[in-house]
Structure 1
Amino acid sequence: MRFSLSSKYAILTLVRLAAAGGGPVTVRDLAADGSIPEPYLAKLVPPLVRAEILSSTRGRGGGIALARPADTISLAEIIRVTEGNAALQECPFDPDPCPGKADCPLSSVWDPLRERVVRFLEQTTLDSLAARVKASAGDASPHLTTETAEAKAVTDDG
């Protein structure tokens, strides 16, 4: 399970919006604040709008904003938009040659781990990440780490 730069940029941008907690912000401002190429960020917006994660307002005073509360948007949902629905189900090992799930000795190792990772991503919301950004006094960029309470809870259970 490896995620693209699109997922990273989408998550960082959405966390910034959640932390700001205000009205619409232009793609230009978000790109500049996050050191993300503006054309790249502009391509990420439409799928996130279609998924009702972002809302977009045109014209003077327009921009993009979260379409719903940050505590209802999970990292898993964002990754499914940026990577596709199968991204959280794919085998991380080279599929060629693959004997198939039934005959694969790695499946019994990978499946439980994948389920824990997916559960962690489903339980981690933009709101929880934005709270970490706000708590980091003077830190303008959200740094996503696995050293969080959620990660510890997921790895400690079961």
Structure 2
Amino acid sequence: MRLTQWTDYTLRVLMYCAACDGRAQPVTITEIAQAHDISRSHLTKIVQQLAAQGLLETTRGRGGGMRLMRPAKQINIGAVVRSTETDFDMVECFDAGTNSCRMSEHCGMKGLLARATHAYLAVLDAVTLADLVPPRGETRRAVQALRFMPGLPFAPAV
């Protein structure tokens, strides 16, 4: 199973916001774009979607930015992935409308892959955003470590 770039970036935004939770100034799109070398316009669309889902609070203008709307321990990774991924059909036969496989009636692969997908999602359902970021005492060091990563044009505000 492979996540789309949209889901990857969505998780990065949430993780960055969780890692910066509690700091005085909100996280900005520019800050995340520079930290991860991602297009600002692409991140803007993701942030808008996360705000519409009630995961991020956004403020416009000078001094604006975004913050998590609820604690990271209340944001389930399985739910986030389900909201961003559009297709969990691993093979053609998962979709009755497009299935042209002549082995479908006698094939055990479909059931096996369905169980694997279920197990994959069950693992994600057991994880919260808080599980993906360092504990508070270590968060500052983790975010500051971005300063020393090759190719980053800036030092993130902490």
C-alpha spacing 1:124/1:135, structure 2 compared with 1 (3 Å): farther
The Cα offsets for residues 81-137 of structure 1, whole Å up to 9 and x where unpaired, read as 2224xx3xx331234424697654212211222121111111111111112784985
C-alpha spacing 1:123/1:102, structure 2 compared with 1 (3 Å): farther
Q: What's the RMSD between the two structures over aligned residues?
A: 2.7
Between 103-112 and 44-53, report the one with greater CA deviation: 103-112
Q: Number of matched residues?
A: 137
Q: Residue 58 of structure 2 aligns to a residue in which SS?
A: strand
Larger Rg: 2
Letter in 1 for 2:109: L
Q: Do 1:2 and 1:92's aligned partners in 2 also have CA atoms closer than 8 Å? A: no
The aligned residue for residue 152 of structure 2 is: none
2:112 to 105, 109, 114: 109
C-alpha spacing 1:125/1:107, structure 2 compared with 1 (3 Å): same
The Cα offsets for residues 53-74 of structure 1, whole Å up to 9 and x where unpaired, read as 1111122221111111101112
The aligned residue for residue 47 of structure 1 is: 49
Query: Are 2:123 and 1:120 aligned?
Result: yes
Q: TM-score, normalised by structure 1?
A: 0.73
The aligned residue for residue 151 of structure 1 is: none
Query: Are 2:27 and 1:25 aligned?
Result: yes
Structure 2 residue runs of 5 or longer lacking an equivalent are 94-98, 148-158
Deviation at 1:78, TM superposition (A): 1.7
C-alpha spacing 1:118/1:136, structure 2 compared with 1 (3 Å): farther
Q: Do 1:53 and 1:68's aligned partners in 2 also have CA atoms closer than 8 Å? A: yes
Between 90-99 and 104-113, report the one with greater CA deviation: 90-99
The aligned residue for residue 92 of structure 1 is: 90
The aligned residue for residue 36 of structure 1 is: 38
Q: TM-score, normalised by structure 2?
A: 0.73
C-alpha spacing 1:101/1:72, structure 2 compared with 1 (3 Å): farther
Structure 1 residue runs of 5 or longer lacking an equivalent are 142-158
Q: Residue 134 of structure 2 aligns to a residue in which SS?
A: helix
